[in-house]
Chains A and B, each alone.
Chain A
């Protein structure tokens, strides 16, 4: 009597288990896109990236000679205090112009994770907290920061003046260099770097001499920015997929993204709400958001934009400064920037192009992997300071994995001619010694 009952129960259990296995092993089905989804996908497509926005604050921004000069400067460690660190030491071309460290490291340790510079010509703000409002004014900061390149503007002006190739490039772009031969007027090294011996030397200089040195320094930044402008992202597998769809190639498009990646893309635009901030062809709105990232070990929670906005307003090289080449000085971004409680702990949305090989993530490298980042946004925990704008998402483990799979389809080399992605061929001759690794 009991035996058939057990047998039926056993068969039933086996069927349920088999069903469960079948469901979990079932191959993912490639989504059929809605019209709304197709519109959103095209909005992310790199073909819709507009031409570089003009930078009226930099008169040489689009001058190819300035880009060539800036290219050399970008890879030249002689601009640093100890002759070992170039811009490219932290913004390494092989690593998508970032590094693989938690925090930037050169002469000292920088307080934040090194962001990529690819595509930054499109951003009204630079740095995680937006404390700079142009590529050229950003480029000046690391040159004199004692924790970064630790150079100084008088030594940099002397280098430009002494190196024949630099001197030629500079004078053809910006006019004559000041005569620095009088060492009583121009020390070997000096700059307004608080708390260093360089500061007293700087303060001892005649204001007019300080001004002529600062002009050279600013022009160095503008040449570096002209180079950085050429660094733009290139088309990725995701872009080829959208292109195929746009040409009406629905059947073949399934071979470009697999079903998991395509479902990840659907989640990205829908349930996971990533596209709200990571929008447009650069997958960033370049705005400031508090997403409740935890503080890094030994550090207070990052204050983010609440400090960034104060710093950029006080920056002697901002859009409204005398060093901007824009006679109109519209500077709408700076004049109407938001401040107040809403920007406490808010940091700039990073682009999601080229996340592969640039771990760890977050502004202080707090997030070791994309899997952990997906978990973070899924939970949307409270922020330690300010308010987390994100809401919990209720994603399954598989959905998080699919989002991650989609993000990998955004990886691609920069859409920039290869000669810009390596040190200029004459760097060795230029510096007399190979740049330090």
Chain B
């Protein structure tokens, strides 16, 4: 996560609703949390800022919800000039005491329900001290929650402090170098790294080996796939032959116990994706019909890339649950 400031420094400065938690800039609106970030896209592209914005211009404030309740909450977003005289130490009570909030307001986005992620854009023409006020009224809640975060725009940095810090670090390095401690430390690190590489390489070999073993395709109509804990075996019949990308289609899934008895009243869940690409299926397929004799209809199957896919069927037969992975090569 590229933050503009050292994390320790942010922690020390963070006041109000925006804090650094485990390397992530987080806004706390009551118990509701969101990943908070500010961009200055025209000048600094995708560089993320947490509170203070180093330059004036167009700023994009983004809240990526960490709490699902925010997707249904009514949220409004206000930026005011920091007229409290309290700088970074201003809190909600200080904002509430401002006589004419509208007069101090430089940006206001009225209440709205915005699912998933919230963003607003505002152009700061002048540097200065500001306070962000985010209010969220969760669905069915009686009281709104508020986050208040003072921040500065167009600050000039930290004066000569970074230079002094760097000078101290260089001096320390020089001392270590002179005493031979640095060389010993580097030597130890190199040994350890070689070990890590060997382990990683071994893991890679193992994983490529296990994938090569699964070179089956669903076009093998007679292929049975055993579930992970060998509770069931499954055969699938796509209604699209040969299987192809970019076409929505259905599968019929036949579920049996390993000794061939049909599993007639299971709930089937469908997940999957491309392990090498780190993404899921493009659709949300569902088992829509129990066709009897251990056969189930799955609708909404679609693949949108060539390559190796895995379709994971979760089979819940009441007392017994298990998962089967169907490899698909397209």
Interface residues of A (CB under 8 A from B): 40, 43, 124, 275-277, 279-280, 285-288, 292, 294-295, 297-301, 303, 306, 310, 332-333, 335-342, 344-345, 381-386, 389
Contact = CB atoms under 8 A, between A and B. Distances in A.
7 contacts: A298-B123, A300-B119, A303-B117, A306-B116, A332-B299, A337-B283, A344-B116
A297 to B, nearest CB: 6
Nearest to A388: B46
B46 A280 contact: no
Contact of B245 (A285, A292, A310, A339): A285
Nearest to B48: A382
A43 B284 CA distance: 26
A384 B60 contact: yes
Contacts of B64: 344, 385-386
A294 B41 contact: yes
The 10 closest A-B pairs by CB, nearest first: A336-B300, A285-B304, A300-B119, A287-B304, A336-B283, A306-B116, A385-B117, A287-B282, A332-B248, A276-B305
Contacts of A40: 306
Given A295-B41, A332-B299, A336-B286, A276 B62 contact: no
Contacts of A335: 299-300
B41 A384 contact: yes
Nearest to A383: B46
B99 to A, nearest CB: 31
User: On chain B, which size bracket covers the interface?
Assistant: 35 or more
Given A43-B306, A275-B306, A344-B116, A384 B283 contact: no
A29 to B, nearest CB: 27
A277 B281 CA distance: 13
Contacts of A280: 245-246
B49 interface: no
Interface-central residue, A276, A286, A336, by most chain B CB under 10 Å: A336
Interface in B66-103: none
A333 B249 CA distance: 9
A339 B45 CA distance: 28
A318 to B, nearest CB: 15
A345 B118 CA distance: 11
Interface string B272-295: 000001111111111000000000
Interface-central residue, A275, A292, A335, by most chain B CB under 10 Å: A335
Contacts of A288: 282
Interface string B23-49: 000000000000000010110011010
A385 B118 CA distance: 9
A333 B248 contact: yes
B66 to A, nearest CB: 11
B87 to A, nearest CB: 29
Contacts of B280: 338, 342
Contacts of A43: 306
A423 B246 CA distance: 33
Interface of B: 2, 39, 41-42, 45-46, 48, 58, 60, 62, 64, 115-117, 119-121, 123, 245-246, 248, 250, 277-286, 299-300, 302, 304-307
B282 A298 contact: no
Nearest to B114: A303
A297 B41 CA distance: 8
B300 A301 contact: no
Given A124-B248, A300-B120, A295 B39 contact: yes
Given A336-B300, A385-B62, A279 B45 contact: no
Given A285-B245, A295-B60, A297-B58, A336 B284 contact: yes
B46 A381 contact: yes
Given A301-B119, A342-B279, A384-B62, A294 B245 contact: no
B121 A299 contact: yes
A384 B58 contact: no
Contacts of B246: 279-280, 285-287
A303 B116 contact: yes
B300 A385 contact: no
A301 B284 contact: no
Contacts of B39: 295, 384
Nearest to B63: A385
B41 A338 contact: no
Given A285-B246, A295-B41, A384-B46, A338 B283 contact: yes
Contacts of B284: 336-339
A393 to B, nearest CB: 14
B36 to A, nearest CB: 12
Contacts of A344: 64, 116-117
A300 B278 CA distance: 27
A336 B250 CA distance: 11
Nearest to A381: B46
A70 B188 CA distance: 76
Nearest to A339: B284
B121 A277 contact: no
Contacts of A341: 116
Nearest to B285: A336
A341 B302 CA distance: 19
Contacts of B123: 298
